[in-house]
Structure 1
């Protein structure tokens, strides 16, 4: 199990800040979540009910050497959007195997346990679990 370079860079960014600055960084990530492509509708995406706010994801592994990830979360759910953006920036475009090799608990290394509730962290874990499930199918 290993953390690919784009995701490791994000982990390093979080390690470089303390306390409430971690929340501020998470909010910055929430603003960077890209919009859905025009051809993809939320209704066609998989809901992630473990998230406290509505979150939908799409995994396009038709080219297993370059997996495409898409997430949809409302603007009024910045924590959920932040987690989705971290996964998007850290994993989108990687190979299926690189994503499958990411440790299931990598998010613990972000150091957010003191800043957000365990329920919210479970939502991020659920997103990664669902992505991996799609890749194994």
Structure 2
């Protein structure tokens, strides 16, 4: 599958998933679930600052922030909260975090909406979970699109 439209880090993740067998893809998703960073202290005790992605079967919350990068442009920071007992949801949050965190708004908005399908998990996990993954990406893109535009 063609990953040239994806940001570099996300394209590398998709390539990793496509390079292994279906059972190994589930293991890779589990690795991403274990690597999902903890929330920073300023968000841990403030659930009102996070938005629930209700399409996910497990409770998943996310928020985005912008920060000025070294080059002077805004970069988007992603923060996720998902329970450890929801490894599929946490895994996909981990994929999105590793693949999109720190990119510009334009780079995130350019990610194809069907990117979750590129991971090759459509036969390994339920359609409902795939919809949750797609909804997570869609929610990030909507939140990024709503950010104030830089001059």
Task: Name the TM-score, length of structure 2 as normaliser.
Answer: 0.87
- The alpha carbon displacement at 1:42 in A equals 2.9
Aligned to 2:15: 12
Aligned to 2:132: 123
Structure 2 residue matching 1:39: 3-state secondary structure: helix
Aligned to 1:2: 5
- The alpha carbon displacement at 1:65 in A equals 2.6
Aligned to 2:36: 33
Q: Distance in 1 between matches of 2:26 and 2:129?
A: 13
Does residue 85 of structure 1 match 2:88? no
- The alpha carbon displacement at 1:43 in A equals 3.3
Does residue 107 of structure 1 match 2:116? yes
Question: How many residue pairs get matched?
Answer: 137
Question: CA deviation digits over 1:71-106, x for unaligned, max 9?
Answer: 000000000000000000000000000000000001
Aligned to 1:134: 143
Does residue 47 of structure 1 match 2:56? no
Bigger Rg, which one? 2
Point out 4+ residue stretches in structure 1 off by more than 6 angstroms.
none
RMSD of aligned alpha carbons: 1.3
Unpaired runs of 5+ in structure 1? none
- The alpha carbon displacement at 1:62 in A equals 5.4
Task: Name the TM-score, length of structure 1 as normaliser.
Answer: 0.95
Unpaired runs of 5+ in structure 2? 147-151
